[in-house]
Structure 1
Amino acid sequence: MHQPDIQPRASLYFQYQVYPYARPPQAGSTAPATPVTIVGGGPIGLATALLLARHGVRTVILQAEQQVSEGSRAIVFTRRSLEVLQQVGVAERVLAKGLPWHSGNSFYRGQRVFRMEAPSDDDDRFGPLINLQQNILEEYLVDAIAREPLIDLRWGNRVESLSQDERGVTLQVDTPEGPYTHRSEWLVAADGARSTIRQAMNLRLVGDSYEGRFVIADILIDLDLPTERLAFFAPEWNPGNTVLMHREPGNIWRIDYQLPAGESPEDALRPEALKQRIDAQLAMIGRGDTPWQLDWCSVYSARALTLPEFVHNRVAFVGDAAHLLPIFGVRGANTGFQDALDLAWKLAGVVKGWAPATLLAAYSADRVGAAREIIAEAGKSTRFMTPPSHGFRLLRDATLALSLRHAFVRPLFHWRTSRAHDYLHSPLNSPDDDNAQMAAGPVDGAPLPNARLGADDFLYDHLGAAFHLLWFSDGGALDAACAAEIDAWRARGVPLRVLAVADGAGDEAVAGADETLRGAAAHLRSKYGAAPGTAYLLRPDHHVCARWRTLSAVRLRRALDAATTRLNQEPHA
């Protein structure tokens, strides 16, 4: 019988809440199968449920523990993650609590050898990076779920095994009151790096695991240092290795330091070993006399691994259950949020019946492609941070030495921050639009850049859980044939909204549009390389899937056929 820990975890900055065990429906219930079950109540599983709820899909979350995660874990979230969190209603709380930043410094032998500045401009609602402990973010997501009637979050429910058939997934679940059987049409595995679902299905991650191990130590300390990433290469107290520092809310500082080869995690986490090394790092930055307290610590190793496919019949994988990525460049949770955003609209289309199950193959294609791209980028950073061989160490050490006097080698210190990926080869991109003929603006597969419309008004504020046709009005109404085509898609259940961009002020709507954006037309035309008559078709995850200099009903239909994987598969009713 499953007995989760119901003693609140200790923390110097966070008050853990033990959530009540959630009893499942009585055995033998005649209730229909759950449309979607999510295994894992971490940030990615919680966000996936909230994103599915935006599309009107009911979910059950099975979470083995009765508390949010122990320790700070993921602490750096990107602009793209905040755009996702805005959709699920917690971005404002993250902004109120988190610590924004945009730069990072790398040091060698007491000298700053590289400074990274993350780009930002006036069209961004959110800054490039913000620090917030994962347990705090999870609490915000849990609070949002409590307000969402389409989500049933079951604390203290641990999945033991599963089986699949052509109609769904059967789970054996253990609880403090004993086991029960749970039936679901679809299953999302969001149960982390040690995924029970992945192991039960005998699936293997492929890629590289690096030998270097790091200690994560969160300490309570008052340091008068700015909020930015600090990287120290080969300090005297940790020769040949790397140390990272980040400020977190609540006067907590994260110190990551690489261990000497051969040292075990057990030895590294001994109190005396932790104290010696943390004291040495504080002394190195001139804060050796500042008192501190340990809040939480752990050991991790850098891995760059992914499942070759993210969808296996009725089971889809997201986050660390699907891939394990090096933390250098803040890729783990930030990549998981993009998985959730991409999966939610595609799974919703299948569940609600407006798209065939082949749309989930596009989820796998898009996100496995992104994972492999991340692994290629992250490998460069990881090999620099923790050289995997004698040869790599010689190259890294030569770069360090040259960086003291020669600026040309310093860009090698860049840690290639997580970003929103371009699905340039997505099967959902239009086969016959004007992408190749347009000289400016985001290309097919790219995320649409946000744009400022007013003092506190941005384009992303107007994008809901739907496809969006962003049409640059030529002064008249939307073409009647295009309007009829849009109505036909809506009649089939496909969520599709028309945003017209028009010159002038006032509230007058463009005929055929759901919403008319006025007052920033010139800016939007410039940003998106548009002219009167130009149109962009956006997927529900904000990525461009088609763009035209002149819109037509036939080409709009073919683009939507491709974006819903209906192209060459089934005729329209």
Structure 2
Amino acid sequence: MPLSSSSKPAGLPVLIAGGGPVGLTLAALLAEHGVASLVIEADDGYCSGSRAICISRRSQEILGLIGADRQLVEKGLSWAGGRSYFRHDEVLHFRMPSEHTERFAPMVNIQQYYIEQYAHEAMQRRAGLCDVRWSTRVVEVRQGSDGVEAEVEAADGTRETLRAAWLVACDGGRSTVRDKLGLQLRGMQYEGRYVIVDIEQDTKREVERLAWFDPPSNPGSTILMHRQPDNVWRIDYQIRDDEDPAEAVKPENVLPRVQSHLDMIGETAPWKPLWISIYNAKCLTLDSYRHGRVLFAGDAAHLVPIFGVRGLNSGLDDAANLAWKLALVSQGHADDALLDSYSAERVHATRENLAYGAKSTEFMAPPNFGFTLMREAALRLAGEDERVRQLVNPRQSTPIRYVASPLNVAAQDDAFNGGACAGAGPGDIAPEAAVQTVDGAGYLTERFGRGFVALYFSDQRELPPLAQMATSVDIIRILRSGNADEQTLIDYLGQAWDRYDAQEGTLYLIRPDGYVLGRWRSPDWAEVAAALAPYQLQRALAATL
């Protein structure tokens, strides 16, 4: 059923091509920063079929920035591990790091259309700043030095030219914007194909990632299964290289294979098919995600193999990285060179994801006979040797460190120790910690996302000189005991002080996307001001030095 549609006047700050989960989340994030946008989507509503289903802890944090996390957690199925089988035998049972005090589970299974719905509803809560025009597609793109023109066409054939200061292409793997700019994704495509099937069936199985290699139910194939909300199983199975893809997705060929596997694993409840599609792995990316006043995000920028669930998760990370930078530039608080750091950081992240994804793909869908032999040897040994078992580990998506980001401030980074704090340096995602807030138990990451945050670790109640900038930077004092207030959090479990390797007077600057900008053992306030200078947030502080 088509969703409601509305129009938006020309002269937008940001036009977003593509109303999938990345485009809708980006619009909601921009609205959080006070920047208006319009999303153009060719379809008349949310996607059909499960599509991307595994939402990482990092993506849950990003959706939390727009207030979509509660719906996600309540509807989704959380999980923290999985099992792999070689024929009949279990050869791997893996667990991802997880503890009961964490805000989010390592993964949540939920159909992509729910993510789109929750992001769209987050947009609707910001009426006047963002909107979607459904059943409308971009047909032409022209850009100049001060803006972009996009010709769009509605379902009835009516055309209109929209003008915007910036255009963000989130229009998927077959991006029209990318095509109109004459850009091509580079990399490699694998031949192995997987049929993807959603079925509805009641089950009592634990929620975990399940994989079978060469199962008796489908000899020679690889099968993946995930539980989803609404009693839906997502089943992915590999087809033979000589099978015709068009024939492979016909119900008369799909249903017997599904039934054979359900019989093998003892799932005997009645079932029915909901959606069938086909997929082959691609490791492709643009070399740059900024081309003048056009920026690329999600599948329009890169195509990552599904194995390890890095596709949608990396797209949501694109949105979180881009939103605050585009907001600062749009509002005149930063030079547009800041957007080059979006491309540098996210291209680096994509190349890391592609490297991991390629390894997983070569194991899940061996590209030649040699890889097949090595995989079988690893699977045979994995049941007996713990060291070999790690070769079977699917290496699920984790946040990428921006090791060489031009934004990183390393002024006093060498003053910090290794060990647990090694993941809290410039360019790392800021660690989570359970804290006591003025409203009760909470989490440190709940304070991230709306601007720059300064974490000041001290057992003293006095705020640092940075407090003079309270209107521009959220100053958070972290005490180990005492009472919380609006600017004070209590680290009652000691997690924050430990994970940030804090001592008395330690200061961290956290970017709006939750990444560490810089850290100081004994802050030099001139250095802190210099770190904030590119974002024009340092003026009040500089006046106090």
Q: CA deviation at 1:529?
A: 0.8
2:188 is aligned to: 208
1:90 is aligned to: 68
User: Contact 1:247/1:254 (CA < 8 Å) preserved in 2?
Assistant: yes
2:264 is aligned to: 284
Question: Out of 59, 63, 66, which is 2:41 matched to?
Answer: 63
**CA distance in 1: counterparts of 2:481 and 2:364, whole angstroms:** 53
Q: CA deviation at 1:361?
A: 0.4
Does 2:428 match 1:451? no
Does 2:447 match 1:462? yes
Does 2:296 match 1:317? yes
**CA distance in 1: counterparts of 2:73 and 2:14, whole angstroms:** 30
AA at the equivalent of 1:397: E
Does 2:241 match 1:261? yes
Q: CA deviation at 1:58?
A: 0.4
User: Contact 1:159/1:174 (CA < 8 Å) preserved in 2?
Assistant: yes
2:458 is aligned to: 473
User: Contact 1:428/1:564 (CA < 8 Å) preserved in 2?
Assistant: no
Q: CA deviation at 1:479?
A: 4.4
Secondary structure in 2 matching 1:341:
helix
**CA distance in 2: counterparts of 1:562 and 1:172, whole angstroms:** 34
**CA distance in 1: counterparts of 2:235 and 2:280, whole angstroms:** 15
1:502 is aligned to: 479
Q: 1:33-72: per-residue Cα shift (whole Å, max 9, x none)?
A: 1000111111110000011111100001111111100111
Does 2:32 match 1:50? no
2:201 is aligned to: 221
User: Contact 2:54/2:109 (CA < 8 Å) preserved in 1?
Assistant: yes
**In the TM superposition, what are the counterparts of 1:329-340 in structure 2 within 5 Å?**
329-340=308-319
Q: 1:501-560: per-residue Cα shift (whole Å, max 9, x none)?
A: 2354235x6xxxx71223538542222111111100111111111100011221102222
**CA distance in 1: counterparts of 2:459 and 2:222, whole angstroms:** 57
**CA distance in 2: counterparts of 1:350 and 1:470, whole angstroms:** 25
Which stretch shows the higher mean deviation, 152-161 or 466-475? 466-475
Question: Out of 305, 320, 337, which is 1:326 matched to?
Answer: 305
Which stretch shows the higher mean deviation, 160-169 or 434-443? 434-443
1:355 is aligned to: 334
Does 2:490 match 1:515? no
User: Contact 1:355/1:565 (CA < 8 Å) preserved in 2?
Assistant: no
1:346 is aligned to: 325
Classify 1:235/1:523 alpha carbon distance in 2 versus 1 (closer, same or farther; 3 Å).
Answer: closer
Question: Out of 198, 212, 215, which is 2:178 matched to?
Answer: 198
Q: 1:326-378: per-residue Cα shift (whole Å, max 9, x none)?
A: 11111111111110000001111110111101100000000000000011111
AA at the equivalent of 2:363: F
User: Contact 1:38/1:190 (CA < 8 Å) preserved in 2?
Assistant: yes
User: Contact 1:356/1:564 (CA < 8 Å) preserved in 2?
Assistant: no
Does 2:507 match 1:546? no
**CA distance in 1: counterparts of 2:203 and 2:310, whole angstroms:** 27
Q: CA deviation at 1:109?
A: 2.0
User: Contact 2:196/2:234 (CA < 8 Å) preserved in 1?
Assistant: yes
Does 2:88 match 1:110? yes
**CA distance in 2: counterparts of 1:303 and 1:129, whole angstroms:** 23
2:500 is aligned to: 528
Q: CA deviation at 1:461?
A: 1.7
1:153 is aligned to: 132
User: Contact 1:505/1:519 (CA < 8 Å) preserved in 2?
Assistant: no
User: Contact 2:169/2:297 (CA < 8 Å) preserved in 1?
Assistant: yes
Secondary structure in 2 matching 1:220:
strand
Does 2:229 match 1:249? yes
Does 2:540 match 1:556? no
Secondary structure in 2 matching 1:355:
coil
Classify 1:478/1:219 alpha carbon distance in 2 versus 1 (closer, same or farther; 3 Å).
Answer: same
User: Contact 1:545/1:563 (CA < 8 Å) preserved in 2?
Assistant: no
Q: CA deviation at 1:563?
A: 7.0
Does 2:402 match 1:402? no
Secondary structure in 1 matching 2:78:
strand
1:429 is aligned to: 408
1:20 is aligned to: 4
Q: How many residues align?
A: 529
Q: 1:402-450: per-residue Cα shift (whole Å, max 9, x none)?
A: 234333311111111111111121110014x211220052111111111
Secondary structure in 2 matching 1:227:
coil
Q: CA deviation at 1:476?
A: 5.7
Q: CA deviation at 1:223?
A: 2.4
Secondary structure in 2 matching 1:456:
strand
- List alignment gaps of at least 5 residues for structure 1: 1-7, 9-17, 26-30, 567-573
**CA distance in 2: counterparts of 1:49 and 1:469, whole angstroms:** 26
Q: CA deviation at 1:194?
A: 1.0
Question: Out of 108, 114, 118, which is 1:140 matched to?
Answer: 118
**CA distance in 2: counterparts of 1:526 and 1:218, whole angstroms:** 44
The TM-score, its normalising length taken from structure 1, stands at 0.89
Structure 1 vs Structure 2 CA RMSD: 2.0
AA at the equivalent of 1:546: G
Does 2:362 match 1:383? yes
**CA distance in 2: counterparts of 1:103 and 1:472, whole angstroms:** 34
User: Contact 2:75/2:110 (CA < 8 Å) preserved in 1?
Assistant: yes
Q: CA deviation at 1:264?
A: 2.1
AA at the equivalent of 2:239: L
**CA distance in 2: counterparts of 1:196 and 1:549, whole angstroms:** 49
User: Contact 1:190/1:320 (CA < 8 Å) preserved in 2?
Assistant: yes
**CA distance in 2: counterparts of 1:172 and 1:525, whole angstroms:** 53
User: Contact 1:220/1:294 (CA < 8 Å) preserved in 2?
Assistant: yes
AA at the equivalent of 1:499: I
Q: CA deviation at 1:393?
A: 1.3
Which stretch shows the higher mean deviation, 383-392 or 121-130? 121-130
User: Contact 2:68/2:118 (CA < 8 Å) preserved in 1?
Assistant: yes
User: Contact 1:60/1:151 (CA < 8 Å) preserved in 2?
Assistant: yes
Q: Percent identity?
A: 41
Classify 1:361/1:220 alpha carbon distance in 2 versus 1 (closer, same or farther; 3 Å).
Answer: same
User: Contact 1:358/1:565 (CA < 8 Å) preserved in 2?
Assistant: no
Classify 1:272/1:361 alpha carbon distance in 2 versus 1 (closer, same or farther; 3 Å).
Answer: same
**CA distance in 2: counterparts of 1:443 and 1:564, whole angstroms:** 23
User: Contact 2:448/2:513 (CA < 8 Å) preserved in 1?
Assistant: no
Q: CA deviation at 1:23?
A: 4.2
**CA distance in 2: counterparts of 1:61 and 1:220, whole angstroms:** 32
Does 2:250 match 1:270? yes
Which stretch shows the higher mean deviation, 264-273 or 519-528? 519-528
User: Contact 1:356/1:565 (CA < 8 Å) preserved in 2?
Assistant: no
**CA distance in 1: counterparts of 2:454 and 2:443, whole angstroms:** 16
Secondary structure in 2 matching 1:337:
helix
**In the TM superposition, what are the counterparts of 1:474-489 in structure 2 within 5 Å?**
475=460, 477-480=462-465, 482-483=466-467, 486=469
Q: 1:109-142: per-residue Cα shift (whole Å, max 9, x none)?
A: 2110001101112442011111111112212222
Q: CA deviation at 1:564?
A: 7.7
Which stretch shows the higher mean deviation, 417-426 or 212-221? 417-426
User: Contact 1:359/1:565 (CA < 8 Å) preserved in 2?
Assistant: no
2:542 is aligned to: none
User: Contact 2:13/2:35 (CA < 8 Å) preserved in 1?
Assistant: yes
Secondary structure in 1 matching 2:226:
strand
Q: CA deviation at 1:282?
A: 1.1
**CA distance in 2: counterparts of 1:236 and 1:73, whole angstroms:** 27
2:543 is aligned to: none
